[in-house]
Amino acid sequence: MTTSTHTPFTPRPLFLFMCLLLMLTLTTGCDNESYESGDGKYSHLNADFGMVQTKQSQTLVAATFDDGRAVEFQPTLTCEWADVPAATYRALVYYYPTSKDNVVKPYSALPVYILRWKDKDYTSNTMLTDPVHVESLWLSKNKEYINLRLGIMVGTEEDGSRQQQLIGITLDNTQTNADNTHTYTVTLRHAQNNVPQYYTSQQYLSLPLHECQSGDNIILHVNTYEGEKTYNMTI
């Protein structure tokens, strides 16, 4: 599955159904074999979410982090998952700062899946709420995304085959508040699709909030292995 596009999102009415097909057992990042000497391999290593750009296929050349910083990668970073040239992806980037504010030395990058909007053609599988582990959830620095770090149970069948899982978001209710802000109640949808649950695969997801306004409230329901949880976040 291709998870990129030449634009990071398609504006449509907020929180219509979003569906993402993940080959969770195959999701990997990329690493730069070189690293900083001195205090240790991971000394001074930073991590930030943002939008990264490719030049050639599988070659990351720059990023705009969620705090607004635009940086160039020197050297460039090779990532197999970023396979579309001149495209924009969302990623979690690990990097070393340099003496130049607009230049960083990338170490690795993990794909962050943006939950795309979908307004019709729901199937029974996409409406399921199979459990997940919610490891963390937070609002991005630019208030344009809700980021989630999920633990998805994965495994391989005895014959070596791998099945895909479905993850999405559905809008349950929209309320207009007295101050003209909105409260959106949404549910994370997950179809395990009979994938064996042998070990946990960590996955990063971002829920785009580009059409929200300041003061809007997001109520997110998630079925977890510890029971249903509700997360309330004000933009």
Helix (H) / strand (E) element for 208: namely strand 199-208
Answer whether the bond into residue 75 is a cis peptide, omega within 30°. yes
230 and 137 Cβ atoms separated by less than 8 Å: no
- Residue at token pair 């991005």: 140
66 and 114 Cβ atoms separated by less than 8 Å: no
Q: What is the pTM of this model?
A: 0.80
Q: Which two tokens stand for residue 137?
A: 């959830």
Which residues of the chain, if any, have pLDDT below 50? Answer: 1-27, 35-37, 118-122
pLDDT at position 120 is 41
Instruction: Give CA–CA dist 39/90, Å, rounded.
Output: 30
Amino acid at 232: N
pLDDT at position 132 is 96
First to last CA, the chain: 31
pLDDT at position 223 is 97
- Which residues are within 8 A (CB) of 112 and not within 5 positions of it... i.e. 6 or more apart? 49, 90, 91, 92, 147, 204, 205, 206
